[in-house]
Structure 1
């Protein structure tokens, strides 16, 4: 039983934010602000950027949150804009022809 407890102590909670976000302070992760979450409802439009909750139209540092979608936030500082993506490593690609993706049942029986 003791071995199981030791193994459980080493497991990391997959829902826990990265350690650099948990340390607090005003330091941003290397590379600038990070879009962590988006909340869109008829009454509220909110982004969590590097641990800070920012409503549409509010300021994040020197920038203003000017646009918010399900997967992106746009910050504007003067005439410069910066787009933050919720899932930066996931890119959109056009879907291939559906006939090539799903063989018909006669081909599956061969």
Structure 2
């Protein structure tokens, strides 16, 4: 009897199919890029997150290209010189680079009230 039960369980496992991801686009719209077709990675570091403690003297931590760095530490040879809620300043010698979480918003166009 135990052998029959094991055979039924094994048969059921063979017939089981993986569940489909409801958030995945249809196959006709989704074609994963081949490694050679992939766009070249940006050489500019990408700021992904900034965490600043609310109390004075608290931690300032940023995530740049997946690497966690603190204020004053080094990232690819540059010193993390400053942090705000939306940007990190990297200094390497005389070179200063500002990484932003969000692209700067375009300046608003002024409309004449008579138009």
**TM tier, shorter chain?**
0.5 to 0.7
Q: Distance in 1 between matches of 2:73 and 2:60?
A: 11
Give the structure 2 partner of residue 46 of structure 1: 61
Superposition RMSD on alpha carbons, in Å? Answer: 2.4
Q: How does 1:5-84 map to 2 (within 5 A)?
A: 5-6=19-20, 8=22, 10=24, 29-41=41-53, 42=55, 43-84=58-99
Q: Distance in 1 between matches of 2:87 and 2:67?
A: 16
Q: How does 1:93-104 map to 2 (within 5 A)?
A: 93=107
Q: Aligned pair 1:86/2:98, yes or no?
A: no
How far residue 31 of structure 1 moved from its aligned partner, in angstroms, is 3.5
How far residue 6 of structure 1 moved from its aligned partner, in angstroms, is 2.8
Structure whose CA Rg is larger: 2
Normalising to structure 1: TM-score of the pair? 0.58
Q: Which runs of 5+ in 2 are unaligned?
A: 1-18, 26-40
1:5-44 Cα distance to aligned partner (Å, 9 max, x none): 4352626xxxxxxxxxxxxxxxxx4131000000000310
The count of residues paired between Structure 1 and Structure 2 equals 76
**More helix as a share of residues:** 1
